[in-house]
Structures are given as C-alpha cells and as structure tokens.
Structure 1
C-alpha cells in the first residue's frame, strides 16, 4: 500500500519508496513500477515526471488526459518548486552554493550521465548545507532544471557524491548504506484544474 499524500478527482501525490522504478523498464523483470502498482487502485493514472529508481519521495501523477496535459506544461515551464534532501560524502566548506554545469549521457556507461561542456544541456542546482558530521554533510537541494541524474552528477562534480549511490561513488562510499541517501521532501505546484497553489512535504527517512 502506498503512502498517498494527496488525492482528488484529477491528480495524486504519493511518496515513492526507494528502489522502485517510476515507469516500466525494458524487459519482463522491470515491469513492476510505481505506475503499474497504482493502476490497481487508480486505473487511469498517468506519469507526469519521474524520480530515479533509488530516490524516494514526492511525485505527482495525473488521473485524466486534461490534468496530465496541464501538469506536464507546468513541468516544461519549470513552475513546480522541488526540494530534495541528501547526505553527501565529506564536509562541505561553504554553507550554500550554486552548480551550473551542462549534462549529457555517458553513452559508454549508460545509464550514467556526465558533465559535458560541448554537448551537454544547461543544468542548474542550488544547494544549502544544513548540518555536518565527521565525514558527511546533510544538504537541501533545489534543482532549477530537471535533467536525468542531475543532483547526483552535480554533487559528484564538486567532490561530494551522495552516499549510497552505486553509480557515482566508489564501493566504500555506498557499501554500508541501505539505500541512496536522496529524498524528494518538498513539492509545490498549481492545481491542474482550479489553479491554486498546493504545497506538500514528506519527512526525510534517513
């Protein structure tokens, strides 16, 4: 049973658990995903945006074609306000910052992404360090673009990869962690029919 944060006749907001695809992948073994599970209770549900397999937290879904179109346009126009929380390797020396680095697929190591100043698409992330311990930092992340693996690659690029990330850390940095330490904990957007602003929150589980 899913943690449904919000539901009405046209949309859902749910907490996606970690280690679950947002949509079906290629192959029989990757059919199990957020959408197929939700379709058992909400047969008309449609994906609007995605969270990585290893990322948990808030995701909005549409329940009809009209709301799907309206929500998709919002995401294309970068109307929604998204915040993530992460634990990263090492102690950040600054309290806040901005990462502006273009991202492109790393074709030789798919599905990984990489910084690519020639072919990459512009990507922007603001971050804020909220605590530090001996060998890690807790950060709030505000992506202003929505590139695949954006937060993961941006944090790696400044020397502070997300703990538990099997793609972008060495074995010592992901062994010993039960999951990737990245959670979508805040989401704000306009209601697709009524137009008023909605804000949702999800407690960080780590």
Structure 2
C-alpha cells in the first residue's frame, strides 16, 4: 500500500490500522488509548496540525469517527537516539543498486529506538534518494555487505533473486576455541570440516531468540568451512543455503562454537548497553549473483574485517 505522505528526513510514514467499531468515539480517542505512553494533548495537537492523514491523503481531525477510514498514516516522532559512531561506506552505486558495508550495531532499517541511526535513513539522506530500499537485511549486530534498490522500477527483479535463493552469500565468524578442539583433527560437534548443519528454526512472537524444533523437517542449512585457528579462537567461513533469522548464530552455537560476543546464543544474557569495543564477530563477506537485468555475473566483497580473527601466523586448514 503506497504511503500518501512523502519520505521525510529519510524516514517513511507509518501506517496504522484503525478498527471500524469499538468503545472509542473517534480515531483520536482510539489512538490516545493505543499509544497510552504518549501525552494525549501532544497527540491531539498532531491532529490539529494536519499531521495525521487517511490513505487518500485527506487530513483527519481529532473528532473523525471510527468506520470512516481503515488506515491512518503519520510520521513517527523521532526518539532521542544514542548515536552509533560508525559510518556506512558505499562500495558500489549505479542506477539500480547501491551496495554498502554496514557497520556493527547499526540497524538496517528504522525501528524501535533507532530512526536516523539506521543504514537506510543515513543512506537516503546522504545520497538524496527517498526511493532507496533494502533488498535484504542484516541483523543490527552483524556487519558487512548490504544491498539496496535504488529505484522502484527494477526493485522486484532483485528481490526475486533473494526469494529464489539465487544469491550466493558468504559470511565469516570468529568463535572461542572449543574446549575439545583437536588441532590435528579439526572438527565441530564430532564432524570434520567442511560440514553441513541443518535444523528447523522457528521465530515465536514476543521472543527475542529463535527456537529450534527437533521434530520438524529442517528449514535452515549452512555449510561451515574452516579458515583457521589459534590458541584463543576459531575462524570459520559460512555459506547459508537458507536465510532464517539468526541462522548462522544458532548453527555455530549448536556445534559448540557460539560466535564471540553473542549475547543471544547459546545463552540469552541480560540486556546491557552497547559495548562498541565488543562487536559480534560475524561479517557478511561476499555476495554473488547473475544480474536479472543484464545477465552478467556480479560479485561484491566487504572491506571490513573481524577484529578478533586470528593473525597471519595462525594455523590455516581446509
């Protein structure tokens, strides 16, 4: 559903479904209860200023009754954001695609307490392109390659590549060296490298972590290869065949090699403020695909590195 409001300061308008009936005598009364954490008079002031509109762009008042409109649109009021002190770096830009290196801690899109501090909003503002839209996503904690559509006319062709799993994605990760590590016979969970890990991952509403259902057919698959190791850490290359939420983090954790600085897996730790000196050691390293418009092969490589990766004198295998 297209927004009747233009992108403002890099942020698109938000859509809210309004009930057709209920105990409220107006849309304003419903929204005041729906957003109970906001000062009602401040919310009503937005109606008075014409900042809340219907799908056709018509302005709603605080007295607009229920049942007239199914949806309303409005701009979120920017929160007081903590600045993420890392930049997005553009690696490639053409008429259809923008490919960037997203840093750790920066979300792909606005949400929750982050609006301006998101890769999408920063890029829209920096490039002056309100049509910019991510074609895929990276977790806030993950750094590396992220691809954006530059114009709506060709967006669907690139989105289909991801939906049909026609994009080769390569990641790398650094984990604490497993306690049972045998440098003469490198293996994870009893399986020598390279190994394939499969399971069934489920995201339950209200849970920050995904769940694994051992009784269902696998829907997530990752090829895990060994890059190297030293006396502290293990460095692996990850080739996901699927793109489930937190898939790589879960698969390494299940193999006894949870990613360094991961506060979710294998154990959910209490939430703490971001520690910019301890980023999750997971990096989206490579993207490869056949361009749906030209048929030409395309590949992109990150310029970022993982700070905890073994040095050049570390053992290399596989």
1:36 corresponds to 2:36:
no
Aligned position for 2:224: 127
TM, length-normalised to structure 2: 0.59
CA distance in 1, matches of 2:150, 2:276: 39
Label 1:154 to 1:192 Cα distance change in 2 as closer, same or farther (>3 A): same
Correspondent of 2:161 among 66, 69, 74 = 74
Correspondent of 2:203 among 105, 111, 126 = 105
Label 1:81 to 1:192 Cα distance change in 2 as closer, same or farther (>3 A): same
Shift of 1:192: 4.0
CA distance in 2, matches of 1:75, 1:147: 12
1:136 corresponds to 2:256:
no
Shift of 1:202: 1.3
Mapping of residues 15-30 of structure 1, within 5 Å: 15-26=101-112, 29-30=113-114
Please tell me the root mean square deviation across aligned C-alpha atoms, in Å: 2.1
- Pick the structure with greater CA Rg: 2
In the alignment, structure 2 segments of 5+ residues that lack a partner are: 1-86, 270-274, 307-318
CA distance in 1, matches of 2:167, 2:105: 24
- Matched residue of 1:39: which SS? helix
In the alignment, structure 1 segments of 5+ residues that lack a partner are: none
Mapping of residues 77-96 of structure 1, within 5 Å: 77-89=164-176, 90=178, 91=181, 93=187, 94-96=192-194
Shift of 1:106: 4.7
Which 4+ stretches in 1 moved above 6 angstroms? Answer: none
Label 1:34 to 1:156 Cα distance change in 2 as closer, same or farther (>3 A): same
My pick for the range that moved more, 48-57 or 64-73, is 64-73
Aligned position for 1:187: 287
Contact kept, 8 Å, 2:198 with 2:218, in 1: the verdict is no
Deviation digits for residues 45-74 of structure 1 (CA, Å, limit 9, x no counterpart) = 011100000100001110111321011100
Label 1:9 to 1:193 Cα distance change in 2 as closer, same or farther (>3 A): same
Contact kept, 8 Å, 1:23 with 1:34, in 2: the verdict is yes
Shift of 1:196: 1.1
Aligned position for 2:263: 166
1:50 corresponds to 2:150:
no
Correspondent of 1:14 among 100, 117, 120 = 100
- Matched residue of 2:294: which SS? coil
Quick one: higher RCO (CA 8 Å, sep 6+), 1 or 2?
A: 1
The number of residues matched between the two structures is 200
Label 1:118 to 1:66 Cα distance change in 2 as closer, same or farther (>3 A): farther
TM, length-normalised to structure 1: 0.89
